[in-house]
Amino acid sequence: MYSHEGEDIFVIDGHIHMWDASEENVKSKGGEQFIECFYDYHTGFTPEDRQWTYDEYRAYDADRLKDDFFTNGVVDMGIFQPTHLKDFYHEGFNTFDRLGEMADTYPDRFIVNGRFDPRDGEEGMQELERQANVRDMKGVKVYTAEWKGESKGWRLDSDESYEFLEKCVELGVKNIHAHKGPTIRPLNRDAFDVADIDDAASTFPELNFVVEHVGLPRLDDFCWIAAQEPNVYGGLAVAAPLAVHRQEKFGEIMGELLFWLGEDRLLFGSDYALWNPDWLVETFLESELTPAQEAEYGVDFGLETKKKILGENAAELYDIDIEEQKRKLQNDDVSVEYGLESMYSNTVGGAVADD
């Protein structure tokens, strides 16, 4: 648990992966280009001394992930968002079942979301039920721009999609994380479109729609929709690392998001291993709006706001009582292995910052 300016900050990283893009697992040229592109994102927004080598980056195991999350104790919990991509990788890229092993080993540290694709039809419906039965699943990740055979993607507001969303309601899966943003093979401009969120969100007020990557490059459309739909949230994956070298641009984007959505509907996500939360959380905490941006947007990006974005808002969506969770984490295997027990006692914890 991170301690900043004398306050404990409970961090739930809302968007993480454990992927395998090893040479043996790559099935097609697309799979190779996909991980290359990820690596460009990684190096483009990671401080030089924290960059991984390309080989490390292709595939990493549970130990590496655990070290990256818990060595300096900055992150308390993570939410896995699966990305199957079976057209690209023989065994899939970042799959529900592989992620599940991690959550089974460290049940209080990781949440694994499911996934569905309405184009899978009845089989897909059964798979969604299976996933929900395997674990107490509260969320799914959906990837509307994914290619499948002849199809170039699907819309969240289609009839087929609504059948799956109805099933989610029935199964108690209430958080729908939609990947909208940097995408695979966007043959059509519409791969980025966020308009389908609008209808889906008004049709299913009991569900929460978390738009990952805050819709970049459709940030403006996203903000406008979110301003009108109270159950639409923004996931900061990709946006947060702009704070590294592009503080001014990061400030503008935060200004827009806070202006249109407010501080209760934004979730931090490192997109690990695109970026490492151990340094990204700190960078995020230290970032500020310029005085001109504060005046322009009239919003507060102080510590209370950051605490909400870093953990409290996700805790709300995933029914986590932070105080109770701290008690659970105090003596779990991770705390014992990394010596984090004292952080979770009632006193101010004090994760060791890098510097």
Partner 1 sequence: MSGADSHQRDDRSVSQPVIREALRPVLDPELDESIVDLGYIDEVVIEPTPSADRSAVTVRFTLPTAWCSPAFAWMMASDAHEAVSTLSGVETTEIILQDHMHEDEITTGINTGQPFEAVFPDADGGLEAVRASLDHKARLARQFDAVDALLKAGMTPGQIVSLTPSDITDSSGDRTHIYLQDGSFAVSAPTEPLTEYLEMANEEGCLTGDDEPLFRTPKGEPVSIEIFEQLHRRNRSAKVNVNGQGTVCEALNESRRKALGRSDD
Residues forming contacts to partner 1 in the complex (CB under 8 A) are: 29-30, 33, 36-37, 39-41, 43-45, 150, 152, 182, 184-191, 216-220, 223-224, 238-239, 242, 245-246, 249, 252-253, 255-256, 259-260
Question: In this structure, what DSSP letter does residue 106 have?
Answer: S
Nearest to partner 1 of 296, 332 (CB atom):
296
**CA distance linking residue 173 with residue 128, whole number of Å:** 10
Supply the minimum distance, in Å, between the C-beta of residue 197 and partner 1.
16
Supply the minimum distance, in Å, between the C-beta of residue 73 and partner 1.
29
Q: How far is CA 275 from CA 24, 43, 79, 197, 303, in A?
A: 24, 9, 15, 27, 22
Supply the minimum distance, in Å, between the C-beta of residue 250 and partner 1.
9
Residue 311 contacts residue 12 (beta carbons within 8 Å): yes
Supply the minimum distance, in Å, between the C-beta of residue 221 and partner 1.
8
Nearest to partner 1 of 292, 336 (CB atom):
292
Which residue has tokens 């483009």? Answer: 44
Nearest to partner 1 of 5, 150 (CB atom):
150
265: helix, strand or coil? coil
Quote the tokens at residue 266.
Answer: 């934004």
104: helix, strand or coil? helix
Supply the minimum distance, in Å, between the C-beta of residue 167 and partner 1.
28
Supply the minimum distance, in Å, between the C-beta of residue 256 and partner 1.
5
Quote the tokens at residue 192.
Answer: 């980025």
Nearest to partner 1 of 96, 260 (CB atom):
260
Nearest to partner 1 of 227, 336 (CB atom):
227
The identity of residue 33, as a single letter, is Q
Question: In this structure, what DSSP letter does residue 78 have?
Answer: E
**CA distance linking residue 352 with residue 54, whole number of Å:** 28
The gap between the terminal CA atoms of the chain, to the nearest Å, is 16
Nearest to partner 1 of 167, 246 (CB atom):
246
